[in-house]
Chain A
Amino acid sequence: MITLTDFLVVSAVLFCIGLYMIVSKRNAIQILIGIELILNAAILNLVAFGKYDKVNNSGQIFALFAIVLAAATTAVALAIILNVYRRYKTIDPNDINKLRD
């Protein structure tokens, strides 16, 4: 039997990897991947706990919502990345430290 703890540990590992990617990567797209990893870790948790709610299925439904929202954020994020690239000719977030034009 797979216990909840197993899922939680896996998701923790994924979460940490995502975290690492967000903090250390110099490429906006990779950062985006890191974010996705974290989201997935969260979704994994939702799904794992959702196992114990047969009636309302809250875990699974919110996992669905999260997936959808992830898609939305990715779309927006990519749009922003594209725009940034166009303006600064780079997608390294460290180089983009000016709020003004």
Chain B
Amino acid sequence: MTLVRVLFYFLSFIAIVSALYAASSKNLVRSIFVFFVTLFALAGLYVLALADFVAVTQIVIYVGGILVLILFAFMLSGKETLNVIKQQNSRIISLKTLPAILLAALFFIVLLNVVLKADADNLPWIRESISLKNEITPNAIMIDNIGVNLMTRYLLPFEAISILLLMALVGAAHLSRKEGKA
């Protein structure tokens, strides 16, 4: 049992528990804030998967952008939403949510099944990658490489996404304008 492994379990535990809390919580605000925790834990997991850059991006965009956006929207939507939320019944497993829980559980079983069957560690291309030393090692610096790749190999998707992002933001801004001014 290495420290990495302990860390991994710890982080994934936090991520799952907080996600569960966010899912089961009737309080919107709470679930939003708990979702922060999940995101942070995930970022930690990215790090453990040797993707520091992604982890950072995760924190910046998700925690810094998306969550703030959500909170912002929530607060904009006013008092009635909160009232509605409070009225909901507090039991975790109610009859209404039972199908959804069942569905999720079954899905989980299926997924688990798929995962275990696939035996991801022994996939041919992974074996090949290990044998060709194409594996990222913990001490390798990958940020340069990412930057280069972005500007060369993945330039087209990069640009397309930029435009998409632009359009989405413009669209969002347009949508959220007051109706009277439209």
Contact = CB atoms under 8 A, between A and B. Distances in A.
User: Is there direct touching of A and B in the complex, by C-beta distance under 8 Å?
Assistant: yes
B126 A4 contact: yes
B120 A40 contact: no
B153 A56 contact: yes
Interface residues of A, number: 74
B121 A20 contact: no
Nearest to B52: A60
Given A52-B134, A57-B146, A4 B16 contact: no
B46 A44 contact: yes
Contacts, number: 247
A44 B121 CA distance: 16
Interface in B1-35: 2, 4-5, 8, 12, 15-16, 19-20, 22-23, 28, 31-32, 35
Interface residues on B, range: 35 or more
B155 to A, nearest CB: 11
A88 B174 CA distance: 19
Given A54-B136, A67-B58, A17 B23 contact: yes
Interface of B: 2, 4-5, 8, 12, 15-16, 19-20, 22-23, 28, 31-32, 35, 38-39, 42, 45-46, 48-51, 53-54, 57-58, 61-62, 65-66, 69-70, 72-74, 76-78, 80-81, 84-85, 88, 96-97, 99-101, 103-105, 107-108, 111-112, 115-116, 118-121, 125-126, 129-130, 133-136, 140, 142, 145-146, 149-150, 153-154, 157-158, 161, 164-165, 168-169, 171-176, 179
